[in-house]
Structures are given as C-alpha cells and as structure tokens.
Amino acid sequence: MSSETRFIVYARVSTDKQGRSGLGLEAQFETVSKYAADHGGLIVGQYVEVESGKRNDRPQLAAALAACRSERAVLLIAKLDRLARNARFLLTVVEGAGDAGVIFCDMPSVPPGPVGKFMLTQLAAVAELEAGLISQRTKAALAAAKERGTRLGNPSLRRGNHETARAATLARQTRADTTAHDVLTYIEAAKRAGAISLRDIAGSLEARGIRTPSGSTAWSATQVSRVLARA
C-alpha cells in the first residue's frame, strides 16, 4: 500500500454509556491507528456512531462515506461487526464508499476494490444465512417441545416449574448443537485446505468471519475443540 493512501475511520459503539466512557472506542481507534501506521497511510477523518448494529440509519456512517468519496479515501474500520450484520446493508455501504473501497483490520487479507467488495458481501451473506438457520432450527425445537406439553418461558417467573427450566435448557442445548454442526462444515473445509492443529483451524474460522457459539468472531483452539466434541 502506497504512502499516499488516505483513510477515513468509522467506529461504532452500541450505547450512550460506551460512547461517553470511551469503552470500546479506545480499542477501535488503537487498531485503526496501528493499521494506518503499519501501511504508511494517513487518517484524514474520523466518525463515531453511537447506535445499535441492527439499525441501518446511521448519519455518521453516511458522513464517513461522503468523506471517502470526496477525499478519494479508504473507509477503515476496526472490525466487520462494527459496520454491518446483514449482507444487504453491507453491500450498500461498500458500494457507497467509492472506488477506494473498505478495509477491516480484523480481515486484512480482503483487498480494497471490486474483488474485496465481492469477498465481503459473500462473507456477510454466509454469516446472515448461518444466523437465519440457527434461529429457524431453534424455533422448530421450541415448537416441538411445546407440542410435547412443555411449558416455555422464563424459569424465574414461575419458581419451582421444573418443566420450564428443562425447556430453557433444551433451547440452549439446541442452539449450541445447531451452531456446532453449522461450524463443523467450515472446520472440515479448513482441514481440507491444510489446517492441521486446532490453532490453525481457529485462524481459518476467524479469517472467514465465522461466529463462535457466543457470537464472537475471535476463535481459540479450546473453542474449536469444544465445537468438535459437541458436533
């Protein structure tokens, strides 16, 4: 990357409390600053959004995209999940960033430009599909439990209701099992690609943006081992 590369930084936190305290923002700015310095680039603008990731109407993001187009700058973001959680919205953003494209520091191997746009939208589409399938299977499991006469709900609202507690446990186990089986496909693909150790597999899952059972995109060897055991 040339020394003339210009970056517009976009950062997002979910709550006003995080925005006021800087919680989360500090780590994001540290990440993007390091990336820009390592690649000989210059940060020419920074935009901060305090908004849920589920909302698509983000004025600060719109301002950042406009700045990218006018400055012919690259949109620089610390992590993919700071920007979008669905493929349609991500595609709108990468198209609106201009020719310079978007770079995510947690996915540095994705290049800017048309090829990077294609790769990012594919990754977001896979993540969205996985989330939809997990939700669908969880709802089906809960419906089946209800048909068997199991009462569903919050156990704390009906103390002593062991059936409800069992239903809640069943729902958690179903979600965990579904996630493990979904991730197993990508683990097998990583093995075919040459990943041997659990650490290698974890790195492959991170590179593809696959989420852990807890929703994070950061994988450890221990988490891979747990998924394999459950699957």
Q: Give yes or no: 225 in active site.
A: no
The residue from 2, 3, 14, 21 that is catalytic is: 14
Write the DSSP symbol of residue 147.
H
Strand arrangement of the beta sheet that strand 42-50 belongs to = 42-50, 6-13, 74-77, 102-104
Distance separating alpha carbons of residues 84 and 93, to the nearest angstrom: 9
**Contacts of 30 by beta carbon, 8 Å cutoff, 6+ apart:** none
Q: Are 47 and 8 in contact (CB under 8 A)?
A: yes
**Contacts of 157 by beta carbon, 8 Å cutoff, 6+ apart:** none
Distance separating alpha carbons of residues 178 and 226, to the nearest angstrom: 13
Which residues are catalytic, by number? 14
